[in-house]
Amino acid sequence: MTPAPSSSAVPPSSAPAWATLEALADDAGATSLRDRFAHDPDRAARLSGAVGDLWVDWSRQPVDDEVLGALADLARQRDVPDFCARMLAGVEVNPTEGRAATHAAQRAPDGLAGFDRMADLADGIRAGTRTGATGAPIRAVVNLGIGGSHLGPAMAHEALGHLAHPDVEVRFTASLDGAAVGDALAGLDPAATLVVACSKSFTTPETMVALDTATDWLRAGVGNDLSRHVAAVTAVPSLAEARGIDPDLVLALPDTVGGRFSLASAAGLALMAAIGPDAFADLLAGMHAVDRHLGEAPVESNVPVLLGLLDVWHRSFLGATALAVVPYADGLRNLPAHLQQLMMESLGKQVAADGSPVEGPTGAVVFGAPGTDAQHAFFQLLHQGTDVVPVDLVGVARPVADPRGAHHDLFMANLLAQAEALAFGRTEAETAALGTPPERVAHQAFPGDRPSTVILLPELSPAALGQLVALYEHRTVVQAAIWGINPFDQWGVELGKQLATRFADLLAGGEVRDEPAAPLVRRYRELRGG
């Protein structure tokens, strides 16, 4: 397949559907969600659908058939199906780095080239046959990474912890704070520990500093032979081997797989050690099922495309600046952090893929917290604040645990109640009818018309988790294709990295010039005692 011309060369407002949507947006608030449901009894059934094993309900969004039709037209006019097909086919879609984006290829059947090597290592650890320098079996795996080398695998490990091998301790650490790597190693036996340094470039300062600390810790416990205690996942194997890591324990990460899209790659080694190769394969299969849906379903019934279009509707036409993601499953408590990187790093762009300025807003702020914790934290703003913030409510039908049968139905009742309250609110008349003192009626009324999407997983299985992750990945790519931006680069993180090197020298005693940061540098030195 040859590359098609990029729609980024033409602003999205040039699409005929854009003007139609602008006109529809002017009237979007004229009909409340209450009225939409009252006038359309089949709305909930019509505006929902399956993708893999997931059930997605977008009926509480401020849309009707006319809006959805115009959004579908916009997707076609902006070549979204073609862009997704090119991505799935391995054609270059990352122009600033001259690369394809092959994360979907990793989870196709037999697509992950290093799977067998990962599986052999993971099986040996789980069976107790993989030994360290002293002959002791490896019983702990510590993953050192940051960003995509950490957030996705750590999230998945938390979500699938109920499948973890009882005799294998798997830990993840990312912060440059020395306390973090110390906590990750605390209580472990160096003779029984494998450290996995996960860095695409194998130059990431946070990971390299943590690796130096971890190798010092290992040497103190087992001596200088670390050939069975350190593994690496990288797109530059030569740099890992130059650090003395055994080539047999260096796993390749394709440079066409971005970190935030790398869960289904060798970056999942520590996760595989925890849950086993079969469960990891199920995770890949779940992701692949959504990849196929993206490539095969028409726009009107393509769930990741529809969700991406709804995001564009909110951001470009209705003025929403944020998206809240609230999982009603404790195992998914790290999902919002993973999605923050996935969506904000992909969509936080102010120029189109061809380098021209974008003509309107792009990525929204993504935030979230688990279920009832979130309700008692930021839901006050969601219900009665002055900003309208779309919300994703993610639930699981069959729980991992439900002591006394007293927890899960009540937990999910909260999800359904929040969807209802956000959408329909409570009028002042209804509030007064409850006997509310007149002076408090305005305070206790709820405006409603706060949009939400409900995503239901049948259970927190590897396959369902893979489907959920892929759903958000493709939803993100769809938004980028509409706006004409490149979702696969992240140049915005580079400047801070470069400046940090200079400031590290200053904090270590370098000459402080007359510059804006000078007072802070001097005060830091005083407080540090240097």
pLDDT in tens, 237-246: 999 999 999 9
Half-sphere exposure of 92 (CA within 13 A, CB side): 11
Query: What single-letter DSSP state applies at residue 169?
Result: E
**Which amino acid is residue 164, in one-letter code?**
A
Residue 1 has pLDDT above 60, yes or no: no
Q: What is the pLDDT of residues 373-425, one digit of tens each?
A: 999 999 999 999 999 999 999 999 999 999 999 999 999 999 999 999 999 99
Task: Name residue 446's beta-bridge partners.
Answer: 426
What is residue 529's predicted lDDT score, i.e. its pLDDT? 84
Confidence band for 530, pLDDT divided at 50, 70 and 90 = low
As to burial, measured by CB atoms within 10 angstroms (0-12 exposed, 13-18 middle, 19+ buried), residue 232 is buried
Region 206-211: what's the mean pLDDT?
A: 96
Other Cβ atoms less than 10 A from the Cβ of 313: the count is: 25
Half-sphere exposure of 224 (CA within 13 A, CB side): 2
Q: Choose the catalytic residue: 39, 162, 443, 497.
A: 497
349 is catalytic: no
Task: Name residue 48's beta-bridge partners.
Answer: 57
- Selection from 224, 289, 268 nearest residue 463 by Cα: 289
Let me know: does 171 contact 141? Beta carbons within 8 Å.
Answer: yes
What 3-state class would DSSP assign to 49? Answer: strand
- SS3 breakdown of the chain: % helix, strand, coil, rounded to 5? 55, 15, 35
Region 104-133: what's the mean pLDDT?
A: 97
345 is catalytic: yes
Residues 141 and 193: their CA atoms lie apart, in Å, by 6
Region 6-23: what's the mean pLDDT?
A: 89
Residue percentage of the chain with pLDDT more than 90: 91
Contacts of 219 (CB under 8 A, 6+ apart): 226
Query: What single-letter DSSP state applies at residue 3?
Result: P
Query: What single-letter DSSP state applies at residue 256?
Result: T
Residues 450 and 387: their CA atoms lie apart, in Å, by 9
Q: Choose the catalytic residue: 376, 407, 420, 443.
A: 376
- Selection from 300, 306, 305, 323 nearest residue 450 by Cα: 323
Task: Name residue 368's beta-bridge partners.
Answer: 325
Other Cβ atoms less than 10 A from the Cβ of 87: the count is: 26
What is residue 7's predicted lDDT score, i.e. its pLDDT? 58
Confidence band for 9, pLDDT divided at 50, 70 and 90 = confident
Region 318-340: what's the mean pLDDT?
A: 98
Q: Choose the catalytic residue: 293, 345, 408, 473.
A: 345
Q: What is the pLDDT of residues 363-385, one digit of tens each?
A: 999 999 999 999 999 999 999 99
Region 441-467: what's the mean pLDDT?
A: 98
User: 365-368 and 322-328 as β-strands: parallel, antiparallel, unpaired?
Assistant: parallel
Beta-sheet strands, E only, within 96-242: 99-100, 140-144, 169-173, 193-198, 230-234
Residues 465 and 159: their CA atoms lie apart, in Å, by 8
Radius of gyration of the chain (CA): 25
Would you give the end-to-end CA distance of the chain in angstroms?
Answer: 61
What is residue 4's predicted lDDT score, i.e. its pLDDT? 42
Residue 351 has pLDDT above 90, yes or no: yes
The answer to whether the pTM exceeds 0.75 is: yes
Q: What is the pLDDT of residues 424-438, one digit of tens each?
A: 999 999 999 999 999
97 is catalytic: no
Residues 72 and 49: their CA atoms lie apart, in Å, by 16
Q: What is the pLDDT of residues 476-510, one digit of tens each?
A: 999 999 999 999 999 999 888 888 888 888 888 88
Region 180-207: what's the mean pLDDT?
A: 97
Task: Name residue 137's beta-bridge partners.
Answer: 131
Region 189-218: what's the mean pLDDT?
A: 97
Residues 218 and 212: their CA atoms lie apart, in Å, by 10
Query: What single-letter DSSP state applies at residue 137?
Result: B
Region 114-126: what's the mean pLDDT?
A: 98
**Which amino acid is residue 251, in one-letter code?**
L
Task: Name residue 171's beta-bridge partners.
Answer: 142
Average pLDDT, the chain: 96
Extract the tokens encoding 137. 């079996």
Let me know: does 272 contact 280? Beta carbons within 8 Å.
Answer: yes
Contacts of 410 (CB under 8 A, 6+ apart): none
